A = this chain, B = another copy of it.
Amino acid sequence: MLPERFSAKNFDVAHIRSSCATCSLRELCLPVGLNEEEVETLGEVIVNKKKIQRGGYLHRTGAKFQALYAVKSGFLKTCVLEEDGRQQVTGFHMAGELLGLDAISTDMHTCDAVALEDSEVCEIPFSRLEDISRAIPSLMHHFHKIMSREIVRDHGLMLLLGSMKAEERLASFLLNMSRRFAIRGYSETDFNLRMTREEIGSYLGLKLETVSRAFSKLQEDAIITVNNKHVKILNLERLKLKMGNSSCGT
């Protein structure tokens, strides 16, 4: 039931003092293999727990950067906006994921982070994280990996935005959601989306009507069923095929 990562050998849950630390550790140190003392050290960094109501902002563009945020529970989106009001959702974020990496660059947040459902995050003061990184090289290295992974993820999204058709984009998106739910121990074929068609569209570079049509098309083809935000994947394999081949099949 629980995600596989929770069984990591070097990790003993008894050493984590707050449940808040747990959430950050999941992303930040579980795969590192810290010893008990190191986990203690890190646990001390993660101080504040914040609750954000559905629709509330975790941070806004331009706000001073103080801390990274590890999502403890809930679901958030991040989005950047142009002066002319154009908006782009740059990501959806669920438990165990890290937010705010973009803000290190200029000490200001470059995007809005909005809760799509009531959420909890842990604050990780960044300067303290850097200090501790010096003492724990494996933590530093792991942090670098996390940042790098974010870059790789963005490149994947650029490929999607630059070269896929509407249906392929949606298939890709659904498979991504599916995988992330699976990692967290939820069903990979049956889930509720938290975001609107418009938000999906923004993320995928499509208008909401196009997203809706793409959903309908996948349903017609009996690859998924969709009722509003509730999605069932009937045929994972065919969904993967949809993503890969614009020329092949219907």
- A163 interface residue per 8 A CB criterion: yes
Partner of A145, one of B82, B105, B156, B245: B105
CA distance A148 to B148 in the complex (A): 9
Min CB distance A130 to B, Å, is: 6
Copies in the complex: 2
**A-B CB contact pairs (8 Å), 15 listed:** A80-B158, A82-B159, A84-B244, A86-B159, A90-B155, A101-B148, A102-B155, A110-B152, A130-B140, A133-B140, A134-B134, A154-B154, A154-B155, A154-B158, A162-B203
A134 near B130 (CB under 8 angstroms)?
A: no
Please indicate which of the listed interface residues A101, A158, A163 has the most CB atoms of chain B within 10 Å of its own CB: A158
CA distance A147 to B110 in the complex (A): 14
Partner of A80, one of B102, B159, B161: B159
A137 near B134 (CB under 8 angstroms)?
A: yes
Which residues of B lie under 8 Å from residue A24 when comparing CB positions? none
What number of A residues sit within 8 Å (CB to CB) of B?
46
Partner of A151, one of B140, B144, B154: B154
Partner of A147, one of B82, B147, B163, B203: B147
Residue of B nearest to A111 (CB): B155
- A218 interface residue per 8 A CB criterion: no
Please indicate which of the listed interface residues A88, A103, A244 has the most CB atoms of chain B within 10 Å of its own CB: A88
> Which A147-179 residues sit within 8 Å CB-CB of chain B?
147-152, 154-159, 161-163
Which residues of B lie under 8 Å from residue A161 when comparing CB positions? 158, 161-162, 205
Residue of B nearest to A87 (CB): B163
Min CB distance A102 to B, Å, is: 5
- A202 interface residue per 8 A CB criterion: yes
